């Protein structure tokens, strides 16, 4: 006879939803809030148009890096094809913006959904492969998508499915939302969209999918044994990453006004992975750092007259450094290094005062 | 539909291109089997070597010397990378080790853009003397470079196969492909065998770079990312069989070039390697998960 008294309560407790928690660290949250408020309201006032444009790109690419961070850092799926995913988002966004008069948020969501569908359709067969093979098949599919889009061309206001008119002389720019026509306003818009995407990912990480991903990353067999539907949650990660990358692509369409396939290269996908690894894939801030490395740093260097190619070399060295010594990226490493440096300096100064004291 | 006679020249050029893809693919597979590293910087190393050779020829240095330097450059850089970054990454999964070679790709690619700026817009070329000669088969002009491309692919596949089967070093490499730890226990100098594999792969990268710059174009970005096409051949062989790699490379080269004659397909011909590799991988994995051995997981 098995004693079942109390089993009902236990089950009920298991079903009871946990009360909404206070944030783990109010200080961290406050810092984040101040940072965000400053970025939205303060930053555009300081910046000239040159930097505003690049910061908008940084806000867009932070979302792309975030998607890659979810795949690499949370689930352990390396994708070498995110550069192609953003192209799908940009293409869809541009097509919808030319063809319809829908409000911007609707277009963004639609672009995200289309990208999500394509990303998931690609992910479904790819998920049968693991590790290296999965990374390589994403590289292959990205190559194929790039060739297709280079042939179909990005929409330029023409008709038909592709929306491309090769003979068009006067090309209308891709429209922006009526409230965000100017560059600073569009920057704010991109940041707000980015925030929503970060919140979406944050929500995922804090709930069931996040826990499932963590379990899968630790050990797939163990996750399977614990009753987690591994394929479903991996696919979910693909869907989420594709969705936010697609939305970012649509924002990119509005930012650049005109899209050309030569602006998207294979190297972009690789640099994207490089900066995402350098920024840190285990931390949401890592995506921000990655985007600043990829979009703002080149602008600063260009202003200083330094060739972009130096940065490519630095990214290469960064990848090797991250993979050999610091898998958590700049976001985790830098504070630790600074703390160590501060300790070292304070230790040294204490030692020197002690030495002076003993010399007296 | 184009007629057969229209297709013929593209079969020849496709075989030549496929031969060089085979050369690269076999190099990638051998290094992967011996060391567990998928060398994604293969194309960048070849491109760098080819550009060095171009500069040397521009500077009036005899061509044969420039070619040797190009090939040696590939070997030395690859061996250097393997010596420096092989050991610290040896304990990591194949994925991390492959991504690390992308770091080398970026370094080389940045350096190439710095040293040989593209802003001038002038097209570089380093014609090989084998372009001019040639012969005619059934009314089709065949250059010696094309012959060398295919011959190099064939010779290398056969040579590597024989090397792996009959020599001491080759046997050691095959043993390491099976189990590194046990091989080390048996007294095989693992590090030295690995160094030989790295150097050999680098030399192949140099040769491939030299041939591809003539068959395709001497452009840093193009040559760097051509490695993805040869990788497709290696992937179809699931990074194992050099014979399958060779056949797959020839098929990719031929389909790629033959697609030129079909107006509907012409623009999409660069998709050939990707599509074939994707189909092959999905086909192979339709029943089971593609995973060769332990340690294949991401880490």
Q: Do A147 and B268 touch (CB under 8 A)?
A: yes
Q: What is the value of ipTM here, to two decimals? A: 0.80
Cα–Cα dist A198/A60, whole Å: 11
A128 contact residues in B (CB cutoff 8 A) = 282, 285-286, 289-290
Mean pLDDT of A307-315: 84
Cα–Cα dist B73/B45, whole Å: 8
Q: Do A319 and B275 touch (CB under 8 A)?
A: no
Please write the tens of the pLDDT for every residue from B255-276.
888 877 777 777 777 788 888 8
Please write the tens of the pLDDT for every residue from A173-231.
777 777 777 777 888 888 888 888 888 888 888 888 888 888 888 888 888 888 888 88
**Number of folded domains in chain B?**
1
Mean pLDDT of B24-38: 86
Which H or E run includes B135? strand B135-137
Mean pLDDT of B123-127: 67
Cβ within 8 Å of A, B 221-280? 221, 225, 228, 231-232, 235, 267-268, 270-271, 273-275, 277-278
Q: Do A309 and B277 touch (CB under 8 A)?
A: no
Please write the tens of the pLDDT for every residue from A157-176.
666 666 676 666 667 777 77
Cα–Cα dist B173/B176, whole Å: 5
3-state secondary structure at position A161: coil
- The pLDDT of residue B78 is 92
Kindly state the percentage of chain A with pLDDT values over 90.
3
Cα–Cα dist A46/A39, whole Å: 10
In a domain, B173, yes or no: yes
Arithmetic mean of pLDDT over chain A:
78
Beta-bridged to residue B135, according to DSSP, are B142
Residues near B298 by Cβ (< 8 Å), separated by ≥ 6? Answer: A76, A77, A78, A130, A131, B93, B95, B96
- The pLDDT of residue A166 is 66
Q: Do A129 and B285 touch (CB under 8 A)?
A: yes
Please write the tens of the pLDDT for every residue from B151-174.
888 888 888 888 888 888 888 888
Beta-bridged to residue B142, according to DSSP, are B135
Confidence band for A13, pLDDT divided at 50, 70 and 90: very low
Residues near B293 by Cβ (< 8 Å), separated by ≥ 6? Answer: none
What is A196-238 written as a DSSP string? HHHHHHHHHHHSHHHHHHHHHHH-HHHHHHTT--HHHHHHHHH
Confidence band for A9, pLDDT divided at 50, 70 and 90: low
B128 or A24, which is more confident: B128
Candidates A331, A69, A98, A25; CA nearest to A197 is A69
A148 contact residues in B (CB cutoff 8 A) = 268, 271
- The pLDDT of residue A294 is 84
Query: Is B90's Cβ below 8 Å from some Cβ in A?
Result: no
Please write the tens of the pLDDT for every residue from B222-258.
788 888 888 888 888 888 888 888 888 888 888 888 8
Beta strands per DSSP E along chain B: 135-137, 140-142
Confidence band for B76, pLDDT divided at 50, 70 and 90: very high
- Considering only CB atoms, B105 lies closest to which of A133, A151, A270, namely A270
Confidence band for B77, pLDDT divided at 50, 70 and 90: very high
Query: Is B291's Cβ below 8 Å from some Cβ in A?
Result: yes
Mean pLDDT of A23-37: 73
Kindly state the percentage of chain B with pLDDT values over 70.
85
- Residue-number span of the structural domain to which B180 is assigned: 4-284
B103 contact residues in A (CB cutoff 8 A) = 274, 315-320, 323
Cα–Cα dist B285/B1, whole Å: 35
Distance, first Cα to last Cα, chain A: 83
Confidence band for B182, pLDDT divided at 50, 70 and 90: confident
B284 contact residues in A (CB cutoff 8 A) = none
Q: Do A131 and B297 touch (CB under 8 A)?
A: yes
User: Cα-atom radius of gyration of chain B, to the nearest Å?
Assistant: 19
Tell the residue number behind the tokens 């050029």, with chain if given. Answer: B13
CB B45 within 8 A of CB B205: yes
In a domain, B291, yes or no: no
Mean pLDDT of A119-147: 80
CA distance, residue A254 to nearest chain B CA (Å): 28
Please write the tens of the pLDDT for every residue from A274-301.
888 888 777 788 888 888 888 888 888 8
Residues near A58 by Cβ (< 8 Å), separated by ≥ 6? Answer: A291, A292, A294, A295, A296
Q: How many angstroms separate the most distant Cα atoms in chain B?
A: 61
**CATH code, domain with B254:** 1.10.3470
B209 or A172, which is more confident: B209
Mean pLDDT of A83-105: 84
CB B209 within 8 A of CB B18: no
Asked whether residue B150 carries a pLDDT value surpassing 60, the answer given is: yes
B108 contact residues in A (CB cutoff 8 A) = 316
Query: Is B35's Cβ below 8 Å from some Cβ in A?
Result: no
Rounded to 10°, the helix B227-236/B272-284 angle is 30
Pair of tokens at residue B48: 């760098």
Cα B138 → chain centroid: 31
Pair of tokens at residue B10: 């593209």
- Considering only CB atoms, B110 lies closest to which of A133, A310, A320, namely A310
CA distance, residue A199 to nearest chain B CA (Å): 27
Q: Do B298 and A78 touch (CB under 8 A)?
A: yes
Backbone dihedral angles phi then psi of residue B141, each to the nearest 5 degrees: -75, 125
A143 contact residues in B (CB cutoff 8 A) = 228, 270-271, 273-274
- Considering only CB atoms, B111 lies closest to which of A148, A308, A313, namely A313
- The pLDDT of residue A311 is 84
In a domain, B294, yes or no: no
CA distance, residue B42 to nearest chain A CA (Å): 15
- The pLDDT of residue B165 is 84
CA distance, residue A94 to nearest chain B CA (Å): 22
- Checking DSSP bridges between strand B140-142 and strand B135-137, what pairing results, if any? antiparallel
Candidates A286, A276, A275, A201; CA nearest to A244 is A201
């Amino acid at each position: 006879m098995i004693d079942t008294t109390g089993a009902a309560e236990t089950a009920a407790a298991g079903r009871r939803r946990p009360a909404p928690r206070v944030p783990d660290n109010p200080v961290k949250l406050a810092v984040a809030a101040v940072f965000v408020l400053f970025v939205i309201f303060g930053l555009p006032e300081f910046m000239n148009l040159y930097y505003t444009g690049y910061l908008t790109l940084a806000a867009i690419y932070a979302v792309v890096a975030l998607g890659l961070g979810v795949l690499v850092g949370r689930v352990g799926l390396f994708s070498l094809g995110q550069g192609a995913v953003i192209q799908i988002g940009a293409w869809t966004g541009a097509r919808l913006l030319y063809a319809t008069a829908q409000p911007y948020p609707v277009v963004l969501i639609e672009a995200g959904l289309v990208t999500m569908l394509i990303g998931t359709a690609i992910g479904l067969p790819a998920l049968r492969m693991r590790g290296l093979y999965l990374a390589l098949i994403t590289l292959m599919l990205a190559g194929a998508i790039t060739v297709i889009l280079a042939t179909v061309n990005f929409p330029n206001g023409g008709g038909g499915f592709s929306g491309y008119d090769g003979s068009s002389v006067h090309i209308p720019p891709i429209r922006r939302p009526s409230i965000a026509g100017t560059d600073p306003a569009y920057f704010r818009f991109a940041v707000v969209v980015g925030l929503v995407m970060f919140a979406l990912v944050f929500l995922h990480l804090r709930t069931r999918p996040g826990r499932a991903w963590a379990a899968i990353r630790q050990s797939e067999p163990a996750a399977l044994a614990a009753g987690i539907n591994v394929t479903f949650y991996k696919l979910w990660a693909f869907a989420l990453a594709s969705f936010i990358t697609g939305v970012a692509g649509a924002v990119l369409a509005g930012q650049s006004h005109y899209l050309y396939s030569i602006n998207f290269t294979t190297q972009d996908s690789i640099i994207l992975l490089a900066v995402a690894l350098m920024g840190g894939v285990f931390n949401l801030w890592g995506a921000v750092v990655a985007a600043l490395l990829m979009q703002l740093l080149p602008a600063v260097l260009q202003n200083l007259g330094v060739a972009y190619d130096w940065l490519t070399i630095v990214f290469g060295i960064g990848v090797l450094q991250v993979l050999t010594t610091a898998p958590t990226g700049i976001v985790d490493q830098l504070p630790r290094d600074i703390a160590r440096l501060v300790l070292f300096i304070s230790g040294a100064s204490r030692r020197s005062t002690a030495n002076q004291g003993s010399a007296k | 539909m184009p007629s057969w006679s229209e297709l013929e020249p593209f079969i020849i050029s496709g075989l030549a291109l496929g031969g060089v893809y085979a050369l690269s693919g076999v190099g990638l597979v051998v290094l992967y089997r011996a060391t567990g590293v998928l060398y994604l910087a293969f194309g960048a190393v070849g491109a760098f070597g080819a550009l060095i050779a171009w500069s040397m020829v521009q500077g009036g240095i005899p061509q044969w010397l420039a070619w040797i330097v190009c090939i040696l450059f590939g070997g030395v850089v690859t061996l250097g990378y393997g010596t420096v970054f092989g050991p610290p990454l040896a304990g990591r999964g194949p994925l991390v080790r492959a991504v690390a070679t992308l770091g080398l790709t970026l370094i080389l690619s940045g350096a190439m853009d710095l040293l040989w700026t593209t802003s001038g817009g002038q097209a570089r070329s380093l014609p090989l003397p084998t372009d001019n000669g040639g012969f005619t088969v059934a009314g089709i002009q065949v250059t010696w470079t094309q012959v060398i491309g295919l011959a190099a692919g064939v010779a290398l596949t056969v040579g590597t196969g024989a090397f792996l089967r009959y020599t001491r070093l080759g046997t050691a490499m095959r043993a390491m492909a099976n189990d590194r730890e046990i091989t080390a226990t048996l007294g095989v100098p693992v590090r030295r065998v690995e160094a030989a594999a790295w150097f050999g792969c680098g030399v192949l990268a140099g040769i491939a770079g030299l041939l591809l710059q003539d068959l395709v174009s001497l452009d840093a970005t193009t040559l760097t990312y051509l490695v993805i096409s040869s990788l497709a051949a290696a992937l179809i062989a699931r990074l194992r069989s050099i014979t399958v790699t060779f056949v797959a490379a020839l098929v990719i080269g031929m389909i790629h070039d033959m697609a030129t004659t079909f107006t509907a397909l012409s623009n999409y011909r660069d998709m050939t390697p990707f599509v074939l590799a994707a189909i092959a991988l999905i086909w192979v994995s339709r029943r089971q998960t593609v995973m060769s051995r332990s340690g294949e997981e991401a880490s």
